[in-house]
């Protein structure tokens, strides 16, 4: 068991290098590859350091190939780090100690652990036996989770017959069946419709509150991050770009507001550019980014210069802020 003051996760200069075979296409490439194999070193994670305290929920963001999943796999004990140190709940993950494995889970939105041809209940039976959950508790937990996820009706159906949303909920149920203290969630809402996304988010939030669980979450849906995470880590090309609160991130990387306009007549983008950065100008609608210090002047100017029917000022979407950080590669 982890000591009271020990962090749930502590990574120091964590790195992972993959050796990937380099092969050119065609017969010549195949023969050259056979005679003399060439390998390329891919630095997937490059000296990442962070701590996650018990009970924290952290969003882990980055573009595809940034190193998020590799980091999660090292934390879950699937991969051996190439460099650095990592302790999770006081254990070295790669050793796969039973005490460690009983306290963690890794949910991968694009993969499944459920047995494809059998009902969900059979996979749950295996998990109950493997995690040594007594039958009465397993039955009670099955009822409780199925009710929360609203999947009571599908537990006796073969997994292959379920919709993506139902399957993901069943995956979550199987992954959390042993009540882990630490959840690594890799795109848990991938491909789900809005209703299913909301249900999964609500379930995860409820689980965290009830169990005081620690969560490290990757997602391309910023709604997941905004709904669940108070802290975010941004990773790009294997390096950690930012580690801090969401409001601070917005303040630091989005020192502007979004101004949305509905006009009585069409306006050209060139004219609007005098008031801010034009993100979109289509017909009678426009969207501008305006620096926070210049907002009063810009709004007053727009109202004076254009026949404005509606004007709203909001924070820019998180997706845009994050995208901007990655595009500019800035810190």
Partner 1 sequence: MIRVWRKARTLLAVYFAYMMEYRGEIFFWMLSGVIPFFFLSVWTEAAARGLTVHDERQFARYFFAVFAARQLEIVWAHWNLSEDVRTGKLSFRLLQPLDPAWHYLADHLGERGVRLPMMLPVALVFVWLYPGALAWPGAGPFALGLLAVTLAFLLNFAVSYAVGLLALWLEDATEIYNLWYTAILFFSGMLAPLDLYPEALRRFLTWTPFPHLIYLPAALWSGLAVDWRHGLLVLLAWTLFFFALGRWLWARGRRHYSAMGA
Q: Does 190 bind partner 1 (CB under 8 A)?
A: no
User: Which one of the spans 25-33, 115-123, 194-202, 266-274 is the region binding partner 1 (CB under 8 A)?
Assistant: 115-123
Pair of tokens at residue 21: 């075979």
Selection from 277, 271, 274 nearest residue 259 by Cα: 277
Q: Among 43, 126, 196, 223, which residue interacts with partner 1 (rule: CB under 8 A)?
A: 126
Q: Does 128 bind partner 1 (CB under 8 A)?
A: yes
Q: Does 33 bind partner 1 (CB under 8 A)?
A: no
Q: Among 13, 24, 85, 117, which residue interacts with partner 1 (rule: CB under 8 A)?
A: 117
264: burial class by Cβ within 10 Å (0-12, 13-18, 19+)? exposed
Q: Does 222 bind partner 1 (CB under 8 A)?
A: no
User: Which one of the spans 122-130, 261-269, 279-287, 306-314 is the region binding partner 1 (CB under 8 A)?
Assistant: 122-130
Pair type for strands 182-186 and 104-108: parallel
Q: Does 132 bind partner 1 (CB under 8 A)?
A: yes
20: burial class by Cβ within 10 Å (0-12, 13-18, 19+)? exposed
Q: Among 23, 111, 140, 292, which residue interacts with partner 1 (rule: CB under 8 A)?
A: 111
Q: Which is nearer to partner 1, 37 or 292 (CB)?
A: 37
Cα 239 to Cα 65: distance, rounded to the nearest angstrom: 11
Pair of tokens at residue 303: 């109202």
Q: Among 12, 33, 125, 239, which residue interacts with partner 1 (rule: CB under 8 A)?
A: 125
Q: Among 18, 63, 301, 316, which residue interacts with partner 1 (rule: CB under 8 A)?
A: 18
Q: Which is nearer to partner 1, 167 or 231 (CB)?
A: 167
Cα 323 to Cα 97: distance, rounded to the nearest angstrom: 39
Q: Does 108 bind partner 1 (CB under 8 A)?
A: yes
Q: Which is nearer to partner 1, 110 or 195 (CB)?
A: 110
Q: Among 17, 43, 118, 246, which residue interacts with partner 1 (rule: CB under 8 A)?
A: 118
Cα 285 to Cα 301: distance, rounded to the nearest angstrom: 17
Cα 316 to Cα 259: distance, rounded to the nearest angstrom: 9
Selection from 147, 117, 144 nearest residue 133 by Cα: 144
Axis-axis angle for helices 164-175, 120-130 (nearest 10) = 10
User: Which one of the spans 105-113, 139-147, 212-220, 282-290 is the region binding partner 1 (CB under 8 A)?
Assistant: 105-113
Min separation Cβ 217 and partner 1, Å: 17
Q: Which is nearer to partner 1, 105 or 276 (CB)?
A: 105
Q: Could you give the residue ranges of the DSSP H alpha helices within 131-242?
A: 135-149, 164-175, 194-211, 222-228
Residues that bind partner 1 in the complex, under the rule CB under 8 A: 18, 73, 76-80, 96, 98, 101-102, 104-106, 108, 110-111, 113, 115, 117-118, 122-123, 125-132
């Amino acid at each position: 068991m982890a000591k009271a003051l020990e962090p749930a996760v502590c990574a120091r200069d964590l790195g992972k290098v993959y050796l990937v075979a380099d092969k050119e296409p065609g017969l010549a490439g195949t023969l050259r590859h056979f005679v003399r194999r060439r390998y390329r070193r891919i630095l997937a994670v490059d000296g990442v350091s962070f701590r996650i305290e018990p009970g924290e929920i952290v969003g882990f963001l980055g573009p595809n190939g940034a190193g998020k999943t590799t980091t999660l796999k090292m934390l879950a004990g699937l991969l051996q780090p190439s460099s650095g140190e990592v302790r999770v709940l006081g254990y070295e993950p790669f050793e796969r100690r039973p005490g460690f494995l009983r306290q963690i889970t890794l949910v991968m939105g694009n993969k499944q652990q459920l047995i494809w041809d059998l009902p969900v209940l059979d996979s749950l039976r295996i998990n109950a036996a493997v995690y040594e959950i007594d039958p009465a508790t397993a039955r009670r937990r099955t009822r409780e989770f199925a009710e929360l996820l609203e999947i009571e009706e599908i537990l006796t159906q073969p997994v292959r017959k379920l919709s993506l949303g139902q399957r993901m909920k069943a995956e979550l149920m199987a992954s959390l069946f042993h009540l882990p203290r630490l959840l690594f969630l890799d795109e848990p809402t991938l491909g789900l419709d809005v209703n299913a996304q909301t249900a999964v988010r609500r379930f995860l939030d409820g689980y965290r509150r009830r169990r005081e669980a620690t969560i490290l979450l990757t997602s391309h849906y910023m709604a997941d991050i905004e709904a669940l995470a108070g802290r975010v880590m941004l990773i790009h090309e294997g390096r950690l770009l930012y580690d801090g609160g969401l409001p601070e991130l917005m303040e630091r990387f989005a020192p502007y507001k979004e101004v949305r306009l509905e006009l009585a007549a069409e306006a050209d983008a060139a004219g609007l550019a005098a008031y801010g950065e034009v993100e979109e100008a289509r017909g009678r609608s426009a969207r501008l980014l305006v620096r926070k210090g210049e907002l009063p002047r810009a709004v007053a100017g727009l109202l004076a210069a254009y026949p404005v029917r509606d004007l709203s000022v909001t924070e820019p979407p998180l997706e845009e802020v994050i995208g901007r950080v990655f595009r500019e590669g800035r810190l």
